[in-house]
Structure 1
Amino acid sequence: MSRKQLGCLPRVLLSKGRLFSAYSSASSVCLLDEQSFDRNQTLGTEIDDRSCRERLNPCIGRNRSLFPLVARVFHSLNWDTAREISFMKAAEKHGLSHSMYVFAFIINIFVSVGLRGEANSLLREIVCYLKNVNLDAFGLLDALVELSGSTGTLSVVSQELIKVFTEFSMLVHAMDVFLWAKKMGLELSIFSCNFLLKHSVKRNEAALVTSLFDEMKNCGPTPNVYTYTILMDFYCGKDMGRATEILEEMERNDVHPNAVTYSTYIRGLCIAGETELAWDFLRDLRDRELPLNSHCYNAVIHGFCCKGSLYEAVMVLEEMRSCGLLPDVHSYSILIHGFFKNGNVRKGLSLFDEMVTSGIRPNLVTYSSLLDGLCKRGQMESALYLFQRLSGFGFKYDQTFYNILIDGYCKHGDLAGAHRLIQEMIGHDLVPDVFNHTSLICSYCKNRCLKMALELFKDMLANGVLPNVVTCTVIVDGYCMEGLVLEAFKLMDEMLEQGIIPNLFTYNVIINRLCKERKSEWAMEIFESMVKRGLVPDVVIYSTLINGFVNELNLEEAFKLYARMSKDGITPNIITYTNLINGLCNYGRMREALNLFEEMIRKGLVPDKIAYTTIIAGFCRTGDIKKALNLFNQMVQSGLLPDVVTYTCLVDGYCKSRRMDNAVVLFDDMEKKEAAPNLVTYTALIAGFRNTGDWSKAFKVYEKMLEKGIEPDAVTYTALGLHLQQDEKG
């Protein structure tokens, strides 16, 4: 770098025997004493550039009172000396310009002798002050450049300034310093550039990330494995195509990915739902003996657990062990959580025992998963026993553990147990939070104790615990369960006044209740109000409304909603299609119902037991037993076991078609398939025999029903004609 590039630096710093390289020279030190700064004094050789002298003199001529501090720092190189006055106090007492000049001088002194930490601390202090008083901190660079004694010093100062700006989240300022340094031809370390890149990724500053990476490739420093890994982390889960390109670019540039790079890429594939691809990639890396770590395997284990492929996840754990990588606490915790979440508590506990036996100490996440799994399974005594032993394992009773246990007691209706834990929690100086209150309120509402729920809600507010949208939605649901829709609306208005915005769940609770009360038109008004508030209805709300209109036999509105959801990009699910098929079946429009059923299959949805039963029942009602039986067989071939409702539809269909032999065969098959006939099935068979005039068989079925402990109802008696006999006797 030339002198012109650096600007008009003081001659002291540009002389052949630089001040910083000769800091032990007494003749150099005296130049820094207060009495040595004379505007008319010559500093050894003439400064030829007049403009440079004019730039320097105003800074030292107006206010010279901090220069003795510079001299003392120069003499001692002592941090405590430099801290005799803070920058904020210096700026307030001696002015910003003079203080900036002096502190920049001290920063350069520290940098020149390798005390980068001290220089960094001073830079942080200055930047913090300038940021707080809302002044442009980039002007600090001018003072640092003016007093820099060499390109090496200036390079280090630039790197420290990049780091400080980055730590203060002033990423644009940091990027400006980077670009300025490259323009000046300064060499910057890869560490400072990676530091800026990493923080830009954390803040999701896509433009800065792209710009910095491109500048590094074009002007240096050359990206290394850490640079590429940071960039990989930015794109993983967002743009796996770009992440793959980065991996390929590393290979082209002979930059060898490390285990962190690979684990980041594998994690990205799993986040994108490509767990099988991630597993294949991992095994390929293993076969090529490329660097791997436990994080690579843990990412795949987590990916399989998220997809519910738990035994594939166990296989990954086993293969991890066979490759010489020991599973860690995270490997086991992920698996334990996965099995508990899936309801397989036995396997989760088995893995926990295996983990402990292997000498791996469970962490907070492991025990939280264990507690949560036991609570969800209803094994509250085991959960409480484990909870009470946690202190012996070195864990403090914290909010997380109490929340899990209290919620477990609430969900299983043991409110007394939940309240005992609340009191114990308070005894441990923990304050019940909104989560605890919401769990209790939800349990009260579920048990139809709305009055108790509302009292707790009032206590919650009185104690300064602010409800959230979940709490309010639970209360709204409680009102709706009791048929108090107007009170539910009133609470929603109060929510809005308190800044609690009702979400889709809140609206769905109201809409569902109105539909159950056959007030779908009113529910539709609520739907439109929700849309106006900017909420986007999901498939659940659409399906709820469609079902409401179907139940009111308003197929026109139901199909309008179906068309609207498709137009809005909301994909119908099994429930949506089943509701519409049910509506068509109720009207006997079986051809349209079958078309919709087949459309559902073409779109990749697999019909469930309810969908099959709905359309089978429709064909049975219209007398098309052949088509109903075909669908029944299709249902069985798809792996679905028909239940008592499905069988009863066919039995009733055969009976109405007077095909009693087929009805009896199907009836007997029900008992073999563990789908025991219920009251409706027996009544259908009795009515069938009555209609064919076979009264003896009708009464035999009736007697068999009584033997099974099934009590007849009015419909059964009607089928047997018993009410007629009673009328005749009367």
Structure 2
Amino acid sequence: MATEILVFFAAALSSTKPPNAAACNLQLIRLVGSGIGVLALKLLPVFIAHGIRPQLPSVNSVVAFLCRLSQPHAAERFVASLPALGCSPDLVTLNSLIDGHCRDGNLFRASLLVLSLRSFGPRPDAITYNTMMGSVFKHRMPRFALGYLGLMWKSRLTNVVTYGILIDMFCKLGNLDSAQSALDDMRISEISPNVVIFTCLIDGYCKNGCLDSALKLFDRMLELAQFPNVVTCTALIDGLCKNGMMERAAQVFGKVHKEGIEANAVIYTSMMDGHFKKGDSGAAMRYLSRMRVTGLKLDMKGYGVAISGLCSCGRLDEAIEMRKEMEDSGLFPDNIIMTALMDACFKTRNLKKALNLYGEMLARKLQPDVFTVAALLDGLCKHGLLEQAKEHFLKAREFNEVSYSILIDGLCKKGDRSEAEKAFSEMEVVGLVPDKYSYTSLIARFCKDGDVFEAFKLHKTMHLKGAESDLLTYSTLIWGLACKGLMIEAREVFDDMVRCGIAPDVVVYEILASGYLKQNDTSSILNLREQMKKSGLVKEDIESYKFKSSPNG
């Protein structure tokens, strides 16, 4: 087609006869449509010089093309010159300009054009308002979007696109009640929702954890013969998998197959990821096999899910094989994959391989992120290589609360209390808030050192700073107090734990029982035994409980 158009223009310009205006305008439109719009821009002034006046269809084609090139100001200058050429812009022209300015992020200029239309005409239509609604919301201005919606309601211009934008906006804002109300309003207005609208709502419900509502909406789609597309199915299956609802995800997967919708790589990856997170590596790998049978290939995310999943399920050898397969296909592991492999090597006591993987990351210029640093520190600390861990921590460009918690825990377990306290204080200096794990590690160290007063004081600070104690925190503090014979205080901490809604386990009862036994406090022992009976934790006589070690190891 492009060759024919160029031959036409060459003949028209070389002819002694004046070119046919209608034919030239038509060919300009075809030229833009053929993907050679730049040539159309060059030819337009040539034809104007030959006395050919542009007609609205070709003008609109050129304006839209300029706007797609992110040149709305050039398009506007061209439109401003049209009256001198005997051509006046229409609503299509101005809608293209508005869309161009919106794409360019110049909402102020776009809104001025809309205001001009409302004041001087031609009057804005649904396309005008829908363009503005969608754009102002993308720029995080939902109130302005609702303002344009009000103008549309006033002019009775709302259509299915309007509701699609509105519902998508409410879903992304997490306002699902308003999104559902908009869907109900469509029914009242006798506007049928399309697949896009159902998909927006299903995705919104999934991302906000309302899986039952998402499933009901999916079933309603089928009832209304609005057959879901692959995007709808991807959103629903991914949401179900992320929430661990693998049986329901498998049911939807089956429906998808039954309806003749071919699952894409994203759906298979979601199914694999969900099963891996449930610890069912067999089911995950079966989905990988099915995926390969259909001819689909793993992308970077798919390999990441498969390799990380195999690592988390203790199938390191297969994960390493998959990495080789990945590289053979031309893809190279990213930070996530390398970190998963390194962490798995640490956990299988293969220290040399883990450190080699970390060295490989650095050699490939992969910048370790907070997760990589955390995995490295955790592995080194658990292998007793605390000095190496400290060196890597000091070199790290990225670290967070988890990195500090791991280091503090390692220092506490080694007995290096002063360094642990120093790292703890440093967290606040660098703008990080110590989490419950950092507090618990220090409390355990204080208790082991017999410094119960400092442990108790730190626990109080923990509450004042908003860090929530867990069962391990409380049991550690109770153990420290019991070891010092401070059973009244230990019982107070126990009661505080129960008031906070944390259910004591058998270890906590054993700690208290051991303390009471040392003091021959029969009354408290019997009282404790009754509590254990009510909790269903008594398996043998309370007198046989012997506390042998601290809960923090």
Alignment TM-score, normalising by the size of structure 1: 0.58
Shift of 1:524: 2.9
In the alignment, structure 2 segments of 5+ residues that lack a partner are 1-17, 549-553
1:76 maps onto 2:24 in alignment = yes
Q: 1:178 to 1:582 in 2, by over 3 A?
A: farther
Equivalent residue for 1:625, pick from 507, 525, 541: 525
The residue that corresponds to 1:127 in the other structure is 71
User: Which of structures 1 and 2 has the larger relative contact order (alpha carbons within 8 angstroms, sep 6+)?
Assistant: 2
Equivalent residues in 2 for 1:506-545 (5 A)? Answer: 506-545=403-442
Gap change, CA 1:374 and 1:227, over 3 Å in 2? closer
For 2:299, the equivalent position in structure 1 comes to: 398
How many angstroms apart in 1 are the aligned matches of 2:142 and 2:501? 36
- Write out per-residue CA displacement over residues 66-112 of structure 1, whole angstroms, 9 at most, x where no aligned residue: xxxx998677213548879949997xxxxxxx98xx89x99x944x3
Q: Which residue of 2 aligns with 1:549?
A: 446
Q: Which residue of 1 aligns with 2:12?
A: none
CA offsets per residue over residues 208-241 of structure 1, 9 Å max, x none?
A: 43554455567x5754564355234333464639
Question: d(CA) in 1 for partners of 2:150 and 2:435?
Answer: 41
Asked if 2 retains the 8 angstrom alpha-carbon contact of 1:371 and 1:404, the reply is: yes
- Which residue of the other structure, out of 226, 231, 240, is the alignment partner of 2:175? 240
1:22-66 deviation digits (Å, cap 9, x = unpaired)? xxxxxxxxxxxxxxxxxxxxxxxxxxxxxxxxxxxxxxxxxxxxx
8 Å Cα contact 1:162-1:177 kept in structure 2: yes
1:158 has 2:102 as partner: no
**Cα offset, 1:446, TM superposition:** 1.6
Instruction: Say whether the 8 Å CA contact 2:54–2:87 is kept in structure 1.
Output: no
Is the CA contact (8 Å cut-off) linking 1:422 and 1:432 kept in structure 2? yes
Question: Quick check: 2:370–2:399 contact (8 Å CA) kept in 1?
Answer: yes
- Residue 475 of structure 1 and its aligned partner are, at CA, apart by 1.6
Q: Give 1:503 shift.
A: 1.9
Against the structure 1 CA distance between its residues 263 and 178, is the aligned structure 2 distance closer, same or farther, given a 3 Å change threshold?
same
Residue 231 of structure 1 pairs with residue 161 of structure 2: no
AA matched with 2:526: K
- Aligned 8 A contact 1:617 1:649 in 2: no
Contact 2:164-2:197 at 8 Å conserved across structures: yes
Deviation at 1:168, TM superposition (A): 2.8
Task: Check whether the contact 1:88–1:129 (CA below 8 A) recurs between aligned residues.
Answer: no
- Does residue 410 of structure 1 match 2:302? no
Task: Kindly state the Cα deviation for residue 169 of structure 1 after the two structures are TM-superposed.
Answer: 3.2
State how far apart, in whole Å, the 2-side matches of 1:544 and 1:526 are: 12
**Pairs within 5 Å for 1:710-729:** none
Residue pair 1:413, 1:443 contacting (<8 A) in 2 also: yes
What is the CA distance between 1:188 and its match in structure 2? Answer: 1.0
Hey, what's the Cα distance between the residues in 2 that align with 1:164 and 1:382? 49
Match of 1:442 in 2: 343
Structure 2 residue corresponding to 1:200, chosen from 136, 142, 147: 136
Q: Is the 8 A contact 2:202 2:236 kept in 1?
A: no
Q: Which residue of 2 aligns with 1:476?
A: 377
Displacement of 1:159? 1.3
Distance 2:337 2:202 in 1: 38
Cα RMSD (Å): 4.9
Q: 1:591 to 1:202 in 2, by over 3 A?
A: farther
Give the Å deviation of 1:518: 3.0
Deviation larger for 246-255 or 597-606: 246-255
Structure 1's unaligned 5+ residue stretches are 1-69, 91-97, 131-136, 283-293, 299-316, 637-641, 654-679, 684-730
1:462 lines up with 2:398 in the alignment? no
2:241–2:271 CA contact under 8 A, matched in 1:
yes
Quick one: percent identity of the two aligned structures?
24
Which of 511-520 and 137-146 deviates more? 137-146
Q: Give 1:209's aligned residue.
A: 145
AA in 2 matched with 1:178? V
Counterpart Cα distance in 1 of 2:87 and 2:259: 60
| Residue 182 of structure 1, aligned match among 118, 122, 139 | 118
C-alpha distance in 2 between matches for 1:377 and 1:265? 27
- Which deviates more from structure 2 when the two are superposed, residues 361-370 or residues 189-198? 361-370
Q: CA 1:590–1:350 in structure 2 vs 1: closer, same or farther (change >3 Å)?
A: farther
Which amino acid letter does the alignment assign opposite residue 78 of structure 1? L
1:635 deviates by: 1.2
Shift of 1:245: 10
Alpha carbons 1:547, 1:579 under 8 Å: kept: yes
Q: Distance in 2 between matches of 1:390 and 1:412?
A: 21
Deviates more, 1:505-514 or 1:480-489: 480-489
Distance in 1 between residues matched to 2:442 and 2:62, nearest whole Å:
67
| Residue 237 of structure 2 corresponds to residue 333 of structure 1 | yes
8 Å CA contact 1:479, 1:485 repeated in 2: yes
CA–CA distance in structure 2, aligned partners of residues 205 and 518 of structure 1:
54
Larger radius of gyration: 1
Q: Deviations over 1:175-212 (max 9, x none)?
A: 23223332435411112321222233234234643554
Equivalent runs, 1:135-154 vs 2, <5 Å: 153-154=89-90
Alignment equivalent of 1:652, drawn from 541, 544, 547: 544
Distance of aligned partners of 1:564 and 1:261 in 2 relative to their CA distance in 1, 3 Å threshold: farther
Cα 1:227–1:405 shift into 2, 3 Å: closer
1:55-74 matches, cutoff 5 A: none
Q: CA deviation at 1:120?
A: 0.9
Q: 1:260-659 residue pairs with structure 2 within 5 A?
A: 271=207, 275=210, 297-298=217-218, 329-330=233-234, 333=237, 337=241, 341=244, 361-372=262-273, 387-388=288-289, 390-496=291-397, 501-607=398-504, 614-615=511-512, 618-619=515-516, 622=519, 623=521, 624-636=524-536, 642=537, 647=539, 650-652=542-544
Asked if the contact 1:120–1:160 (Cα under 8 Å) also holds between the matched residues in 2, the reply is yes
Q: Relative to 1, partners in 2 of residues 1:607 and 1:155: Cα closer, same or farther, differing over 3 Å?
A: farther
Distance (whole Å) between structure 2 residues aligned to residue 172 and residue 410 of structure 1: 52
CA distance in 1, matches of 2:20, 2:180: 55
* Aligned residues of 2:70 and 2:100 also touching (Cα < 8 A): no
How far is 1:162 from its partner?
A: 0.9
Q: Secondary structure at the match of 1:537?
A: coil
Q: 1:545 to 1:216 in 2, by over 3 A?
A: farther
Query: Does structure 2 conserve the Cα–Cα contact (< 8 Å) formed by 1:433 and 1:465?
Result: yes
User: Alignment partner of 1:441: what SS?
Assistant: helix
Q: Is the 8 A contact 2:405 2:438 kept in 1?
A: yes
Separation in structure 2 between the aligned mates of residue 296 and residue 176 of structure 1, nearest angstrom: 43
Q: Deviations over 1:140-192 (max 9, x none)?
A: 77556887855xx3433221111112223333332232233324354111123
- Matching residue's letter, 2:65: S
Q: 1:336, 1:349 within 8 Å by CA — same for their partners in 2?
A: no
In the aligned structure 1, how far is the partner of 2:435 from the partner of 2:335?
Answer: 27
Segment of structure 1 superposing worse, 469-478 or 206-215: 206-215
Secondary structure of 1:78 counterpart: helix
Whole-Å separation in 2 of the counterparts to 1:383 and 1:572: 36
For residues 252 and 359 of structure 1, what CA distance do their matches in structure 2 show?
A: 29
